[in-house]
Structure 1
């Protein structure tokens, strides 16, 4: 019996020991695990816990500034006061908004929009009521704050363009991000974030954006902000320095302001810097910063003079007689004509059963290259074009910058068109005709160019180098800025003596009697310009009109059927520095309308460069009075 009890006791003891050992092992494992979690992994789990209560939010960085070549700010960030409403604090949102509408301007559409936004969001999330409050409006709302529960006045930044319409087409504007522009960058999803939509603002948008800052805020389980724990401001975007001379830009706009539609470009031929680029009519880019109204947008879009279009780079025009320099240079380079060779102009040239007229009905008689350019004789260029053909003319035009993109740092540039035999075969499925070569030789037919291309053409003729225009003084990217200072343009690969012949002909246009632009010459010593007039038709003149009523004067035609007026030039004649192109849409006479504008702009450019005290705005105005359009101007010009 005793032995049996002893066996039972030993068995119980062993089981107790085994159970105790198991429990000990479990407790030891639990203790070890707790030690691992509480001590070894404490930092990791502290972060995880913080992430449940700390929200990391992006802070929009200040957008980079844009200045003119001398540092004058043309695109800045100004303080912007906006008013927001919080539903849970306002209680009766409609009532609060109605009271607010009696204090500041608040239309019915705004009230409806705010009510929709409030309904879609959580009760504690602020909803913007109105942007761009003036200080007076802020003060009125502040005084009435006790009667406006739930309203918050906040200060932010918005884009501002101090020069307004003067630089609208080159600067462009910023606006809210659209759905299709969301690229996964969280910065673009921030409420109210703006990106570049056109102009320099669009081309250099990534560089101007900067990098976002961060804010750490403590939130509760519903996401309500309790307090801000930490803030790190972002880095502002790069400053973009433009090549534009603000004073010259203002002046160019002023000279175009009395025209329905026009454009002007001024280049520094040594480095390709665009000193002025004006397009008229223009618009105020500030209207787009915080959302343009439908009424204003429709008025801009439906305006027949196209104020939203930068005509300097997107407007394509038949270059008219300004194209004759390409034809003459192509003839010299091909060796089919010499500068002294003369052709007889009876006022027309017959090809097959077709007659091609010179602008001067009685003809110019015997003319060489200098006189043909000076008097803008059409028949002379008909003769040359027959000898060299359209393909060699096109090759020279391309070399001078026509028919291809210049690469200007602006969006939506158009390449114009320089036709060839292959082009017509591919695009139109028809063979090239000899008469089309004649028409092309005087810058009509299929030939199209932008004002910027025409200015580039003149810059290349004046310098002998493959000048490429640009609008910023440095290369700007999101990664940084590199200087253009040591960049040089390659030689044009055109005989320098031939270029001198073309420049000599351009000098005759402005500075010799009976030159088509002699009335618009610059008679200030050392500032003289050399140029070429152009008048391009936009309608077909029938044989019946020529034989019966005579060619109708531009003033007798509706605006959209009048000729385009063009003028290209460089100055000074003896040491070229500036190239200029002016196009006045449906302006009529190039010599009477476009040439005086180019003359005044080139005077201003040289005046600003030399800063000579003897030249004033009064001198320019008095010179301008010598060049009102006249019948003589039209008769002397092709």
Structure 2
């Protein structure tokens, strides 16, 4: 169809408008492209010149600063201190050996370690720094700095390392950190990229390990530009690391130090618990060790010395050690009997020194016997025959049920590397363990804390705190994290008859305050600080019938490893219990002579808040007590840091 003139003119106008639009778009696009090309070729020319040399962006991980650990009063237990080290960069020097020789004349270097370092220097790329010496003194660092012109490639640096200002006092509570072990990632399933940082340290024991996630913090990153050979050309930007959380523990540094000092020369474990909250105020194992030795390369001589020491300084006796609780178990039997109606306070048992059950004779610790005893007398004088007779009526199932109720046979959830469960035996347990039936003799042995029964000092402290408070207290070790107090439910009532508990407490009072009590020599001469307790002596060897006839060999005449363990548990003050303690001295001999005096001193220190004055002791003991306290290696507690920053390196 032939178009009209008007249609042709309209079509021409439309085409003209479209041409203008397309042309405008073309010109605009060309201008943008030209501007972008100028930006890339002129303004970013230097950047792209570097990238043209096969440069790339690399993400580097920045280590976080480890969180601090404080005691309940704010005393620093684990912090971070500056350390001085020397690194060496091979590409900055012509002759490595000459420089190392000059350095060895300025700084004392281990020659064997230096040979290993030299091999490492030539094993890495020329620009990669290698640590030559660590933990130098300020004087050594200054000498290196002064001689810097003669030491090309040698770089003095400042870093951070874990520090334990209270030394050996808290090794078995705080633990230690160490460079990431080779199999750490595989064994823990921890894939945190910060673990790949050279010389990065992680907690490997106790609180440092148990609360590693809280203390470690979060890694930061920095973006750097590196060339094809891996050399860092420049830093582009960084995202700072986030420091780990600060912990405040329930322990008291002053009390802990006193406990460790009081245990000097012994192989022992002690736990002190707050009877109102369950907070652990001291947890000590002796002998101890300085955890700082594990933060740096450890010599085989030192480590083997710790491993072969018969007193086992590496073992945490307070939470990990398991021992026959001896006569400290008698409160459990007494409460089981009272709650089950198997005895009244007036009932008596005659002790002639032994009883015969079946074809076996069971002996009392007092060879001639105690005569007729009621419950209070049997507890305060620790008559074994009384408990042999009582246990036959009560039975092992009731005894073990009460033991569990009072906190024995339980592994508590604490940030410690090893918390033993102990053993509260039952008939079924023996069948499963040994394929044998339970016999009456097993019950008699258990009634005096021997036989199959095993407890830790931690469990015995919990038991004592529960008896003292009447509540099912649970031990705790963390007071707060980053200033936020840990939430804990109030301990429920034990559900025991208050009169029965009061009777057992009265028996414990008589142990230390009645002239016939087994710990009367460990009494306190002040009603304000009066303690109640129970001694225990647990055998580690069998006494033959022949030895019974000729006389039991004294502990002092036996080799150390064959002597009895000495135990004591107690609480104070008697009228309003605040602290409970358990003490075990491995192969210490009698609980009355060895463990009870230690327990008394610790309970006094906890109540007084300082070294107990001699006026609190019997007159005949005061001179000896003063001499002992003068010779104790008691540490002067460091001042509490004024804030977070001053306490960090």
TM-score (norm 2): 0.86
Counterparts of 2:554 and 2:34 in 1: how far apart (Å)?
97
Residue 274 of structure 1 corresponds to which residue in structure 2? Answer: 280
The answer on whether the counterparts of 1:272 and 1:467 sit within 8 Å (CA) in structure 2 is yes
**Is the contact made by 1:84 and 1:128 (CA closer than 8 Å) also made in structure 2?**
yes
Structure 1, residues 445-483: CA drift from partner, whole Å, max 9, x if none?
111100010000000001111111111113x5xxx7753
SS at match of 1:264: strand
Cα shift readout 1:154-185 (whole Å, capped 9, x = no counterpart): 11110000011111110100001112212321
Residue 402 of structure 1: which of 408, 418, 423 is its match?
A: 408
Secondary structure of the corresponding residue to residue 313 of structure 1: coil
Asked if residue 294 in structure 1 is aligned to residue 297 in structure 2, the reply is: no
SS across alignment from 2:64:
coil
1:430 to 2:436 alignment: yes
One of 122, 146, 155 as aligned partner of 1:119: 122
Partner Cα separation in structure 2 for residue 184 and residue 35 of structure 1: 46
Shift of 1:624: 9.2
Aligned ranges 1:52-63 → 2 under 5 Å: 52-63=55-66
Match of residue 197 from structure 2:
190
Q: 1:142: how far off?
A: 1.3
The aligned residue for residue 571 of structure 1 is: 572
Q: Give how far 1:534 is off.
A: 0.3
Q: Secondary structure at the match of 1:335?
A: coil
CA apart distance, 1:340: 1.7
Most deviating of 525-534 and 103-112:
103-112
Residues in 2 aligned to 1:91 and 1:285: alpha-carbon distance in whole angstroms: 41
Counterpart in the other structure of 1:600: 601
1:500 is aligned to 502
CA shift digits 1:184-212 (9 cap, x unpaired)? 21101101110001011111111001111
Distance 1:580 1:71 in 2: 23
Partner of residue 331, structure 2: 325
| Equivalent of 2:132 in 129, 148, 167 | 129
2:96 corresponds to 1:90: no
Superimposed CA distance per residue, residues 563-596 of structure 1 (whole angstroms, 9 cap, x where no aligned partner): 0000000000011110001111100010111111
1:239-318 correspondence runs (5 A):
239-259=246-266, 261-318=267-324
- Aligned-pair CA distance for 1:232: 3.3
> 1:379-437: per-residue Cα shift (whole Å, max 9, x none)?
11101111121111111101111112122331211111111111111011111111111
How many angstroms apart in 1 are the aligned matches of 2:108 and 2:405? 58
Residue 276 of structure 1 and its aligned partner are, at CA, apart by: 1.0
| Equivalent residue number for residue 538 of structure 1 | 540
Asked if the contact 1:596/1:627 (under 8 Å) is kept, the reply is no
User: Aligned residue for 2:493?
Assistant: 491
Counterpart in 2 of 1:176?
179
1:235 aligns with 2:237: no
Matches of 2:489 and 2:212 in 1, distance apart?
A: 24
SS in structure 2 opposite 1:566? strand
Q: CA deviation at 1:560?
A: 0.3
For each residue in 1:528-576, what CA deviation from the matched residue of structure 2 results, as whole angstroms up to 9, or x when unmatched? 000000011110000011112x100000000000000000000000111
Query: Relative to structure 1, is the Cα distance of residues 262 and 433 closer, same or farther in structure 2, using a 3 angstrom cutoff?
Result: same
Contact 2:537 2:589 in 1 (8 A): yes
Equivalent pair of 2:535/2:591 in contact (CA under 8 Å): yes
Once the two structures are superposed, residues 472-512 of structure 1 have per-residue CA deviations (whole angstroms, 9 ceiling, x without a partner) of 113x5xxx775335630111122221111110100010111
Correspondence list, 1:624-635, <5 A: 625=621
Residue 635 (structure 2) aligns with? none
State the partner residue of 2:147: 144
> What SS class does the counterpart of residue 535 from structure 2 fall into?
strand
Within 1, Cα distance between the matches of 2:352 and 2:99?
83
1:623 to partner: Cα distance: 6.8
Residue in structure 2 matched with residue 460 of structure 1 by the alignment: 466
Deviation, structure 1 residue 616: 4.8
5 Å matches for 1:379-398? 379-398=385-404
CA distance, structure 2, for counterparts of residue 621 and residue 110 of structure 1: 56
In the alignment, what sits opposite 1:222? Answer: 229
Indicate whether 1:450 and 2:456 are aligned.
Answer: yes
Aligned partners of 1:596 and 1:624 also within 8 Å: no
Q: Secondary structure at the match of 1:153?
A: strand
Kindly indicate whether the alpha-carbon contact (under 8 Å) linking 1:520 and 1:626 is maintained by their aligned counterparts in 2: no
Closer, same or farther in 2 for the Cα pair 1:133/1:351, shift >3 Å?
Answer: same
CA offsets per residue over residues 309-353 of structure 1, 9 Å max, x none? 111001111110000000111111111111221111111111011
1:109 deviation in Å?
1.9
Aligned to 2:131, what secondary structure does the other structure show?
Answer: strand
Please, which of 512, 515, 524 is the counterpart of residue 513 of structure 1? 515
Residue 351 (structure 2) pairs with residue 345 (structure 1) = yes
Deviates more, 1:447-456 or 1:110-119: 110-119
Q: Is the 8 A contact 1:519 1:626 kept in 2?
A: no
Residues 618 and 36 of structure 1, relative CA distance in 2, 3 Å threshold: farther
TM-score (norm 1): 0.87
What's 1:157 paired with? 160
Matches within 5 A, 1:28-67: 52-67=55-70
Structure 1 residues 429 and 142: alpha-carbon distance in aligned structure 2, compared to 1, 3 A threshold: same
Deviation for aligned residue 1:113: 1.6
Long gaps (5+) in structure 1: 1-27, 630-638
| CA distance, structure 2, for counterparts of residue 163 and residue 373 of structure 1 | 40
Whether the 8 Å contact between 1:592 and 1:628 is mirrored in structure 2 is no
Instruction: Give the superposition deviation at 1:37.
Output: 14
For 1:56 and 1:542, locate their aligned partners in 2 and report how far apart those are by CA, in whole Å.
73
* Corresponding residue of 2:216: 209
> Which structure 2 segments of 5+ residues have no match?
1-25, 41-46, 626-649
Distance verdict in 2 for CA 1:555–1:420, change over 3 Å: same
Alpha-carbon distance between aligned partners in 1 of 2:74 and 2:139, rounded to the nearest angstrom: 31
2:628 aligned residue: none
1:102 aligns with 2:105: yes
Q: For 1:484 and 1:627, how far apart are their aligned partners in 2?
A: 44
The residue aligned with 2:554 is 553
For residues 150 and 530 of structure 1, do their structure 2 counterparts lie closer, same or farther at Cα, with a shift above 3 Å needed? same
Distance (Å, rounded) in 2 between the aligned partners of 1:443 and 1:333: 19
Q: Is the 8 A contact 2:464 2:580 kept in 1?
A: yes
